[in-house]
């Protein structure tokens, strides 16, 4: 009987066994295929020969999660850094603009959304983006740590618009979000604590986890 399974996948195909093929040879081919998957990368296009597209998605995944417990993820990646002096990312998204683009639209390095559809509800937390900074017990991470880093890479001789900012809030649709921040309840020696004397000229509204509103005091003077 001929082989009915694709070659190069890390499993043992019983149909490949025969008088001319030893089990050890099959196992060696499986190990080689496994090593190949770890040493070669998945690639679509190159910097010199990219995949062209005039509409739609270059790559896409559509799925439906029917689990009653646990987590389902459309894509899961995990990268373990073991080399001294190494750096990098588990995920890198990079958009470039080389023409007069986005006439009335937007261009984003990444666009991440979470939407509750008709008939849907969430009893726990629902986040369009969740960033977690972690460290195992007893470690000394070092470095400059942050859950989110807002960065810029603007070369010399560039005149940016006056309203350019590190963080922008847009309340786009009909129903407006009532608070800028949802914070842990105030406590001494934390990032959210009782105020000292200040010359307040404006306030920015936020809300604590228990629903109590608070106001960040700001001044129009340096």
- Please write the tens of the pLDDT for every residue from 87-145: 999 999 999 999 999 888 899 999 999 999 999 999 999 999 999 999 999 999 999 99
Q: How far is CA 6 from CA 42, 44, 189, in A?
A: 18, 21, 61
Q: Which of 174 and 32 is assigned the larger pLDDT?
A: 174
Looking at residues 190-212, what average pLDDT do you find?
82
Residue 190: CB atoms within 10 A of its CB come to 10
Cβ contacts of residue 2 below 8 Å, gap of 6+? 15
Q: How far apart are CA 149 and CA 144, in angstroms?
A: 10
Q: Where are the domains of the chain?
A: 1-41, 177-222
Q: How far is CA 38 from CA 18, 20, 41, 42, 58, in A?
A: 29, 29, 8, 10, 24
> Three-state SS for 33?
helix
Q: How far apart are CA 146 and CA 191, in angstroms?
A: 14
Looking at residues 55-83, what average pLDDT do you find?
93
């Amino acid at each position: 009987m001929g082989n009915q399974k694709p070659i190069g996948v890390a499993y043992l195909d019983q149909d490949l066994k025969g008088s001319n093929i030893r089990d050890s040879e099959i196992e060696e081919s499986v190990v080689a295929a496994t090593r190949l998957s770890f040493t070669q990368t998945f690639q679509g296009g190159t910097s010199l020969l990219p995949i062209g597209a005039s509409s739609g998605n270059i790559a896409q995944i559509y799925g439906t999660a029917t689990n009653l417990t646990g987590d389902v993820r459309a894509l899961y990646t995990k990268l373990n850094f073991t080399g001294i002096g190494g750096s990098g990312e588990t995920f890198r998204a990079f958009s470039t603009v080389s023409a007069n683009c986005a006439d009335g639209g937007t261009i984003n390095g990444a666009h991440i959304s979470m939407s509750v559809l008709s008939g849907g509800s969430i009893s726990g937390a629902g986040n369009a983006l969740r960033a977690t900074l972690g460290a195992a017990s007893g470690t000394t991470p070092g470095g400059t740590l942050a859950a989110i880093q807002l960065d810029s890479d603007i070369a010399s001789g560039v005149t940016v618009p006056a309203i350019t900012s590190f963080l922008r809030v847009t309340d786009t649709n009909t129903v407006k979000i009532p608070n800028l921040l949802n914070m842990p309840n105030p406590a001494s020696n934390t990032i959210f604590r009782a105020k000292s004397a200040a010359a307040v000229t404006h306030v920015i509204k936020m809300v604590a986890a228990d629903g109590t509103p608070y106001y960040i005091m700001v001044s129009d003077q340096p």
